[in-house]
Amino acid sequence: MSAVAKRIQEGKNMARKKMRTLHWSIIPKDKLGETVWKAPEMVDSPGIDLDTNELESMFSLSPDKKAKGESKQEEKKGGIRGKKHSPLMELLNLQRVNNIGILLSQFKVPLEEVIGAIWRMDESALSLENLKALRYIAPKDDEIKILRTVVGKLDMSLLTKAERFLLMLVEVPRLSQRLESFLWKRQFPTLLAELAADTACLLMACDEVKTAKKLPQILKIVLTIGQVLNRDSYLFNSDGFKLESLMRLTETKGKNTQFTILHFLKKEVQTKKEHLLSFYDELPNVEKASKLCMEHIIMEVQKIKKDLTQLERELAVRKEEKDKLSAEQPPAPEDHYCELMGAFFEDAKLQFERLAGQVDSVLAKWNELARFYGEDADKAPPQQFFSCLHHFAHQFHSLKLPAAFLEGKVGK
């Protein structure tokens, strides 16, 4: 129990004002042992000579006003495109053929060159947007059956560009799998770089908060204020609180409802411990970390692992087919799938293993930090923890105190 808390306990029988309650989340005493609340940065740092008279004056009980908020919703509506005529109306979906024709307008080269680029897996000829369009255009299983029944039986000059292209695509074996592999190969470097940057940020943010010197002193002042406010409440008997409690500093208003506990906190720090005003400078990666979802990162890593497994299986199928074709007939000279995707797979597997190790390090660091701050790592994800800290710091630093308030002339 802090010195202020002891003085409060000793003076319980004295006449005093009833205070507004700060509804913080208490950390049980048996859980405080290895947390920041018992760390040298907290225990050995000098306390603050809190102006309890002003605190009582500002936050003693009196009728308060409740504000009602309103929320609004917006709805968006979209139209449905009409269907257009297709020469293969008896065989294919008209709207799909029409959509394919629209997508093909982005290709500025002859269709034969597009087919050649697909065979070669030519990244210089097909952009990422081209590949996404081709993934949509690629004939589905039911369409493949239909198209194969008419290959060589139709006058190509009478068909639309979309219809001709579909008949050309059906000649490329395992087209959908080829395009998925090709697209993933193009997206993989960007995806990996983003995930690596996000995990590196989380690692640094965990280290920054764990080793911060000024943050524990700010929390100690908040604890002291809360012990005064909660002296008549069951919440009084606390030597530590969870960081989510910082969100409530602006919710508890004084008798003058323009001012909150956050105003009082900043005034105390600004007038008595000015060096602590820059506490957030020790935490440069917390803002970005507050926007990162660990669950999303883990899901993306699991998806990469699944995609690698699928690619490995596809390579095995391709090799088997290639060996079989070699015995019967020469393989297509432009088909570079196995060579390109095989080399990519080996490199991607190594990069994935490094990323997975980095994610494991983040989880270990987060569990360590959560224990240090008395949090349950399973119930409070890092994004929530860092969001609370960033939001508090932003409110604290952006708060401008009126000169009259600093002089004690208003707020009571």
Residue 326 has pLDDT above 70, yes or no: no
In a domain, 179, yes or no: no
Work out the average pLDDT over 343-357: 97
pLDDT at 66: 45
pTM of the model as a whole = 0.78
Would residue 50 count as lying in a domain? no
pLDDT at position 347:
97
Cα 44 to Cα 10: distance, rounded to the nearest angstrom = 23
Calpha distance 383→208 (Å, rounded): 15
Residues 54, 412: contact at Cβ < 8 Å?
yes
Residue 194 has pLDDT above 90, yes or no: yes
How does DSSP assign 251-303, residue by residue? Answer: TSB-SSTT-BHHHHHHHHHHHH-GGGGGGGGG-TTHHHHTT--HHHHHHHHHH
pLDDT: which is higher, 238 or 194: 194
> For residues 44 and 395, which has the higher predicted lDDT (pLDDT)?
395
For residue 77, how many C-alpha atoms fall within 13 Å in the half-sphere facing its CB? 1
Determine, yes or no, domain membership for 164.
Answer: yes
* Residue 154 belongs to a domain: yes
User: Each residue of 6-46: pLDDT tens digit?
Assistant: 555 555 555 677 888 777 778 878 888 888 888 887 888 88
Question: What range defines the domain where residue 102 resides?
Answer: 94-172
| Closest C-alpha to 205, from 298, 288, 295 | 288
Helix then strand count (H, E) for the chain reads 16, 0
Res 70: pLDDT: 41
Q: Return the structure tokens found at 187.
A: 């997206």
**Does residue 412 belong to any structural domain of this protein?**
no
- 132 within a domain of the structure (yes/no): yes
Lookup result for tokens 């087209």: 175
Q: Whose CA is closest to 396, among 253, 234, 269, 306?
A: 269
Residues in the chain: 412
Provide the percentage of residues in the chain whose pLDDT is more than 70. 85
Total structural domains within the chain: 1
Please check whether residue 153 lies inside any domain of the structure.
yes
Domain at 134, CATH number: 1.20.58.630
- Residue 236: pLDDT band (50, 70, 90) is low
Distance CA 173, CA 22 (A): 68
What is the rounded average pLDDT of the residues 355-379?
94
Q: Are 236 and 62 in contact (CB under 8 A)?
A: no
User: Is residue 346 pLDDT above 60, yes or no?
Assistant: yes
Q: Is residue 129 part of a domain?
A: yes
